[in-house]
Structure 1
Amino acid sequence: MTKRSELPCDARFDGYAALHQAFRWQVPEDFSIAEACCGRWARETPNAPAILFESDSGCRAQYSYGQLQRAANRLANALQRLGVQAGDRVAIVLPQRFETAVAQIAVNQLGAVAMPLSMLFGPEALEFRLQDSAAVVAIVEGAALASMRQVRARCPALRQLLAVGEGAQADELEWMAALQAEDARFVSARRKADDAAVLIYTSGTTGPPKGALIPQRALIGNLSGFVASQNWFGFDPAAPERGTEAVFWSPADWAWTGGLMDALLPTLYFGRPIVAYQGRFAPERAFELMQQHGVTHSFLFPTALKAMMKAVPAPRQRYALKLQAIMSAGEAVGDAVFGWCEQQLGITVNEMFGQTEINYVVGNCSLLWPARPGSMGRAYPGHRVAVVDDEGKICPPGEPGDVAVHRRDVHGDPDPVFFLGYWNKPEATAAKFTGEPSNSWCRTGDTAIMDEQGYLWYQGRSDDVFKAAGYRIGPSEIENCLVKHEAVANAAVVPKPDAERGALVKAYVVLAPGHQGSPELVAALQAHVRGRLAPYEYPKDIEFIEALPMTTTGKVQRRVLRLQEEQRAREAALA
């Protein structure tokens, strides 16, 4: 088991090529996320801080690893009393708070499968996932109880609701009462590394959500990327055996992969504290939290960074920050935000790429290899990544294709990061893989170009890339260019159907505070893009919008806007 002062691998590295050649996965036959992220620390350093809680209402609390373990033991006993068995799905509908970490550890100790669900989900979204997974118990924060009650009768497998906070009804269990009735001791059964641990539903940007079943070992598969993208999180690169103090915070929802597998669990794995903030994201509040808690490492998605850049252009003049690293993922950061972070925060953003099924596989580590603005980065140690064509053959450098990850690393060892499959969807699981031999490449559905040095350059989701007047258009480059204009807070580019050209480039633009939409601004933004990109890439149509449609994971839903344009075109044709 990795100690607090050790790296999650068996060698020290200097340089990208040496990093890959020296790295070897260490995946024990028995591995438990609960033990790795809490149990061992509760025994070795029980008083070390684990969760630093703060809410927008002013409530603050600090919880140790010992407290986390005792609460998880009580909850595991309570769930066992409810009949939860190994393999059962337990829904967790909670925001960032202590109880969320408790639930993850407790469910894992039981050998059950944690199914995190966003607090933003409405009744329809909850019902689909509860029915599809056949979850037997749901642990629900008070604010989400009303939606859960609407659908509970239509989810026959759901036996009980466990309410966190006030608001439990007579047929529901109240969190504190349930835990106080149980013993603070619990003996966990041994878990295999291949055992299912988490069921996370994809965001559904290209179709109905699918449940990705994540094994215990996937956390190990995340660690090389996590440590690298966080500039050797918790380690002194000059003397890794010494270790350093580290405090993590991210606004990423703990109900999705970015918050759970890129923030909460890896932070706990290394025995460090993580800030749990229960409140809406706001740029100034983000800086205040980082200052107050001495945050050293963070995951900030591009949308958050853009908002912070626009709201606080010179943050170090207002805040005393201890930031050592920022990882960003979900969308391309773009060189405007990249440059702002370097100049105003003194941080080279390490972009990362992954997805629920195969997370944390590509990115940067500014300590070990140079980050290139606009690039997704290179394959992280232990992951073999390529760009493949429709037949699963590796594309030559400079040719766009689908980013794919091989089942085995450069040494021929199995990559532990892979998901087990889509819940009850064997055909969809099989369709995810391609190539010879034995369908060994897992497609991500994201289009990119790989250069001669192995850097990947994101072109967009495969279904986001479109052709206009015969030219292949990747939306991210145009969006990045628009955001560089002082009037633009965010932007999304989609095709607008056109009889002559097939499609026009259309931009939906969210304005920065203090700016108003006008024909003059439209012309200025068009000129702004035309003067920086290819002539065919400037948006022929610009529509100002209050907010872009977003998934619960912070990704722009271009599909929603694209379908809206298609509907408008159909209506115009009938008029």
Structure 2
Amino acid sequence: MSTSKTGTDRYQQLYQEFHWHIPQHFNIARVCSQSWAEDAQHGQRTAVYFENSDGHTETLSYASLQAQANQLAQLLQSQGLQRGDVIACILPQRPETAITLIACLQLGAIVMPLSFLFGPEALEYRLQHSAAKALIVDASGIDAFLQIRANCPAVTTLITLDCQAEQALNWHVALTNMPDVFQMAETLASDPAILIYTSGTTGAPKGALLPHAALIGNLPGFVASQNWFPQEQDVFWSPADWAWTGGLMDALLPTLYFGKPIVGYQGRFSAETAYYLMEKYQVTNTFLFPTALKLMMKACASPLQQYRLHLRAIMCAGEAVGDAVFNWCISALQIIPNEMFGQTEMNYIVGNSHLHWPAKPGSMGRAYPGHRVALIDEAGKEVADHEIAEVAVHRYDIHGQPDPIFFLGYWNNVEATSDKFSGDWCRSGDLALRDADGYLWYQGRADDMFKAAGYRIGPAEIENCLLKHPAVLNVAVVPKPDQERGNLVKAYIVLSHGHLASAALIEELQSYVRGKLAPYEYPKEIEFIDQLPMTASGKIQRRILRLQEETRSKT
């Protein structure tokens, strides 16, 4: 891919001319760490800038990243861990997280990153289901693990970082005694590398097993959505947890692949913290959930007047951005955000790259080069433009070559893996419509759509409309069962600071939507709530609110 002038539409050329080149042997650890560490000019460059909420800072060079990963790999091997074993880690954004990933992958093991936000039940399910043999954990996750340790007998090796537990190896002590050289496993590009359990938005979590080649599959979208990353001075930061696909495959690993520094921050997200980090570390590229951008928008209307920012690209994913946030990014940050769509199972498949094709406000973009994307019906047939159907990706690109983006399957769940596919089409479970220019417009999860008084309702448009009102900080729209209409449109709203719930405000918000959307789309009922149920990856769990309404209707 080559650069072009801002505003031109080179999409068709880029899409048609793109070809995959997948080596037979490929290991993520080699391309993200070892190759840079062994480069005399690059080894001492920063891989990770780290800061926590207490103000403690560290930097980790590529040479140090590789040396410590070698030591950890030696330690794991000394404990009997080997190629194909599942090794779990509960670590936040910190240098040791990157070290752990590289160590496990160069061992040929399968690394399973777990969020430090998981409670004991969620943690127990994943450790038991995956049969993980080892766990690396710091203070953020040790308490949850100790509560269920007796129920996870397969975990025979426990390595603790900045915390203590019985029959555990101390990270700092154990690594000191290990050599800092290691013979990396010769893995195929198709070998399993990473096990990530889906966030459970629509049901029980499923373990998506990703091959080493999945990183290659992510790269065209990453480069495009980040306005042709990397540039010489690029520094990346995202609040996305490195335990999730968004933080791991959309931020950490691609940044390391290109030998650039990434900022890791251990602490709660806030708009003020986001601006602080971006200013201090001269962040040029970021991935922000729409939820984060909404908070930043509400907290600081004109950030460029308060902060010296160096941003040149913003990628958004996880939820529909909507034109309210889109237009704020342009006016307040002077950046056209590139929306992206993907899943753990096949990530970075659709999106924008406004330098090379125009971004349409509210659209999730076009299929990124290398990915054959279509909207299919229940029978697996492609539908025409302007019809709402399910987003799907074909196993083979437009040139007939295998697309490396795909997961290998769900861990110990052959039936769910089979259900994910209709022939060679991999279903996303997300609905969209495609316009005449090939842009997709997100309509919500298939199970988020509902009918009210005979009309088909998608929550995204209503939520986007409500978000433009100054009283609304965040919102989720769900159906409320109704005997006459089938369902009513109901909005759960988190109020912005300084606004109080009242009957008058409800009427004002209803009138606000009624004046902008179709009459049947305004929320017949509004409930104010302190916070919306969210997955750890930043997605609104409308399913929880929908089930709550169904339960209420039966009482």
TM normalised by structure 1 equals 0.95
Distance 1:334 1:189 in 2: 45
**% of aligned pairs identical?**
61
Structure 1 segments of 4+ aligned residues over 2 angstroms from their partners: none
Structure-2 residue corresponding to 1:240: none
Distance 1:426 1:318 in 2: 53
Distance 1:14 1:252 in 2: 30
Structure 1 residue 151, shift from structure 2 partner: 1.0
Structure-1 residue corresponding to 2:224: 228
Structure-2 residue corresponding to 1:21: 16
Gaps of 5+ in 2: none
Equivalent of 1:133 in 130, 135, 142:
130
Gaps of 5+ in 1: 1-5, 236-243
Distance 1:509 1:205 in 2: 19
Structure-2 residue corresponding to 1:83: 80
* 1:130 partner SS: helix
Equivalent of 1:395 in 383, 386, 395:
383
Over aligned residue pairs, what C-alpha RMSD do you find? 1.1
Provide, for residues 287-315 of structure 1, a one-character-per-residue CA deviation record: whole Å limited to 9, x for no partner.
01000000000000000000000001100
* 2:554 partner SS: helix
Structure 2 vs 1, CA of residues 7 and 552 (structure 1 numbering), >3 Å: closer, same or farther? farther
Distance 1:464 1:136 in 2: 37
1:203-218 aligned at under 5 Å gives the runs: 203-218=199-214
Q: Which amino acid aligns with 1:491?
A: V
Structure-2 residue corresponding to 1:376: 364
1:317-332 aligned at under 5 Å gives the runs: 317-332=305-320
Structure 1 residue 141, shift from structure 2 partner: 1.1
Q: Which amino acid aligns with 2:229?
A: F
Distance 2:84 2:166 in 1: 28
CA contact (8 A) 2:25 2:186 kept: yes
Provide, for residues 381-439 of structure 1, a one-character-per-residue CA deviation record: whole Å limited to 9, x for no partner.
000000000000001000000000000111110000000000011111011011xxxx1
CA contact (8 A) 2:91 2:140 kept: no
1:368-517 aligned at under 5 Å gives the runs: 368-434=356-422, 439-517=423-501
Structure-1 residue corresponding to 2:344: 356
2:268 matches 1:273: no
CA contact (8 A) 2:330 2:336 kept: yes
Structure 1 residue 160, shift from structure 2 partner: 1.9
1:200-349 aligned at under 5 Å gives the runs: 200-235=196-231, 244-349=232-337
Structure 1 residue 156, shift from structure 2 partner: 1.9
Structure 1 residue 169, shift from structure 2 partner: 2.4
CA contact (8 A) 2:92 2:140 kept: no
Structure-2 residue corresponding to 1:541: 525
Distance 2:80 2:287 in 1: 37
Structure-2 residue corresponding to 1:142: 139
Structure-1 residue corresponding to 2:64: 67
Q: Which amino acid aligns with 2:151?
A: R
Structure-2 residue corresponding to 1:94: 91
* 2:151 partner SS: coil
Equivalent of 2:539 in 545, 548, 555:
555
2:47 matches 1:55: no
Equivalent of 1:34 in 29, 33, 50:
29
Structure 1 residue 476, shift from structure 2 partner: 0.7
Distance 2:92 2:142 in 1: 13
* 2:38 partner SS: helix
Structure 1 residue 14, shift from structure 2 partner: 7.2
2:189 matches 1:189: no
Distance 1:160 1:84 in 2: 9
Distance 2:9 2:494 in 1: 43
Distance 1:542 1:561 in 2: 13
Aligned residues: 549
Provide, for residues 181-200 of structure 1, a one-character-per-residue CA deviation record: whole Å limited to 9, x for no partner.
10001011211000000000
Structure 1 residue 170, shift from structure 2 partner: 3.3
Q: Which amino acid aligns with 2:376?
A: V
Distance 2:234 2:17 in 1: 26
Provide, for residues 140-184 of structure 1, a one-character-per-residue CA deviation record: whole Å limited to 9, x for no partner.
11121111011111112110211111x212311111011111000
CA contact (8 A) 2:410 2:417 kept: yes
CA contact (8 A) 2:49 2:261 kept: yes
Provide, for residues 265-305 of structure 1, a one-character-per-residue CA deviation record: whole Å limited to 9, x for no partner.
00000000000000100001100100000000000000000
Q: Which amino acid aligns with 1:522?
A: I
Q: Which amino acid aligns with 1:379?
A: A
Distance 1:508 1:189 in 2: 51
Structure 1 residue 7, shift from structure 2 partner: 7.7
2:43 matches 1:46: yes
Q: Which amino acid aligns with 1:474?
A: G
CA contact (8 A) 2:346 2:406 kept: yes
Deviates more, 1:156-165 or 1:476-485: 156-165
